[in-house]
């Protein structure tokens, strides 16, 4: 009897050495180290768990480890995840029948440890992916918000009808351009444009025709100025154009292009209470000023605008349709 016990113990130790100990070595380099258990049984043959709600039974799996299957049923009762049921499953008849000796039990428990580590890694990886997805979504939302903010900022400083900048933005631009002018001792010019007889045109042909004229001059000014020039709707039919790096002569050339372009254009209109269309034209008067900043000399915005206004009044006094330089 003693010899039989010694033989059984020897066989057990031999199996542990042959079947279990190598798994620990393999586990260092391989995250999937299943213990080959030839005693695995089908849970549905041991317990009354043939339920269509059981993920294990519905998949028609054979002799597999039901204790590792998510939402497997045990006696018709759903068990949840591996981590929720692992303790109870190890005392289950299915597990015990699958582990007739300590070798199978150690092997299966080692399998469970490896399975748990892999599952945790998968959950962490999934969580990291979820965090990355949320981060991408947040970045997309932030970019959309930034784009909307830029659009709102543009709308706040833009005249809707002419698509030029509005009067509120003029001071900001002049402050920046004058500071640059003073820093580098460069010239800056300013034009003030006014549509001659605009109110009469509005009264005769209506506000829609007047809006078309205002829209046209906005386009005309943009087409005849450089990308770094800035144009503003200053009042109803008055416009201001800031021309960095320009002296009086350069500004006068630009103003003449605008004046002639407006004079040579015609507008298809019809008078109030009339269905007859006709072509109407208009003219503009333009006042121009320019300045340099030498050394510590300061340029005052109000003075620059006032000079352009005075030149514009002189153009009006001459009958309009003329460009006058402030000198």
Q: What is the pLDDT of residues 112-125, one digit of tens each?
A: 877 778 878 888 88
From 126, 151, 186, give the residue that closes a domain.
Answer: 126
Structure confidence at residue 12 (pLDDT)? 75
- 300 and 170 in a single domain? The answer is yes
Q: Are residues 17 and 115 in the same domain?
A: yes
Q: Domain for residue 139, yes or no?
A: no
- Same domain, residue pair 321 and 175: yes
Residue-level pLDDT at 71 = 65
Q: pTM surpassing 0.85?
A: no
131 is a domain residue: no
Read off the CATH number of the domain in which 219 is found.
3.30.70.270
What distance in Å separates the CA atoms of residue 69 and residue 248, rounded to the nearest whole number? 85
pLDDT (0 to 100) of residue 258:
98
Residue 158 lies in a domain: no
> How many Å apart are CA 144 and CA 142, to the nearest integer?
5
Question: Which residue, 79, 98, 126, sits at the end of a domain?
Answer: 126
**pLDDT at position 25:** 67
**Listed residues 66, 96, 126: the one ending a domain:** 126
Spans of the chain below 50 pLDDT: 294-296
pLDDT at 56: 65
* Structural domain count, the chain: 2
pLDDT for residue 15: 78
Do residues 176 and 267 share a domain? yes
From the list 104, 108, 177, 237, the catalytic residue is 237
Together in a domain, 117 and 226: no
Clarify whether 237 is annotated catalytic: yes
For 51, what's the count of Cα atoms within 13 Å in the CB-facing half-sphere?
Answer: 16
pLDDT for res 109 = 82
Q: Is residue 171, in this structure, part of any structural domain at all?
A: yes
Instruction: Specify if 156 maps to a domain.
Output: no
Q: What residue numbers bound the domain in which 219 lies?
A: 165-325
Query: By C-alpha distance, which of 123, 25, 31 is closest to 70?
Result: 123
In a domain, 134, yes or no: no
Distances (CA, A) of 94 to 36, 40, 81, 279: 16, 8, 17, 97
Same domain? 194 vs 284? yes
């Amino acid at each position: 009897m003693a010899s039989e016990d010694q033989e059984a113990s020897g066989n057990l130790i031999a199996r542990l050495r042959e079947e279990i100990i190598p798994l620990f070595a393999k586990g260092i380099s391989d995250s999937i180290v299943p213990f080959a258990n030839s005693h695995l049984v089908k849970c549905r043959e041991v317990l009354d768990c043939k339920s269509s709600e059981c993920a294990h039974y519905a998949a028609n799996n054979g002799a597999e480890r039901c204790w590792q299957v998510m939402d497997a049923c045990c006696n018709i009762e759903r068990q949840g995840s591996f981590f929720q049921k692992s303790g109870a499953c190890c005392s289950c008849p299915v597990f015990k029948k699958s582990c007739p000796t300590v070798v199978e039990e150690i092997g299966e428990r080692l399998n469970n440890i490896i399975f748990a580590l892999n599952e945790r890694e998968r959950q962490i990886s999934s969580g990291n992916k979820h965090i990355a997805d949320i981060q991408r979504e947040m970045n997309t939302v932030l970019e959309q918000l930034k784009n909307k903010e830029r659009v709102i900022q543009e709308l706040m400083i833009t005249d809707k009808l002419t698509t030029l900048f509005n009067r509120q933005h003029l001071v900001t631009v002049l402050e920046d351009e004058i500071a640059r002018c003073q820093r580098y001792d460069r010239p800056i010019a300013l034009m003030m444009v006014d549509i001659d007889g605009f109110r009469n045109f509005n009264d005769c042909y209506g506000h829609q025709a007047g809006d078309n004229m205002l829209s046209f001059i906005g386009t005309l000014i943009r087409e005849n100025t450089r990308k770094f020039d800035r144009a503003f709707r200053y009042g109803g039919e008055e416009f201001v154009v800031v021309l960095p790096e320009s002296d009086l002569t350069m500004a006068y050339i630009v103003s003449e292009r605008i004046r002639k372009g407006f004079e040579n254009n015609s507008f298809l209109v019809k008078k109030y209470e009339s269905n007859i269309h006709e072509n109407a034209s208009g003219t503009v008067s333009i006042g121009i000023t320019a300045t340099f900043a030498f050394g510590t000399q300061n340029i005052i915005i109000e003075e620059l605008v006032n000079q352009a206004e005075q030149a514009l009044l002189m153009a009006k006094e001459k009958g309009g349709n003329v460009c006058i330089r402030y000198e």
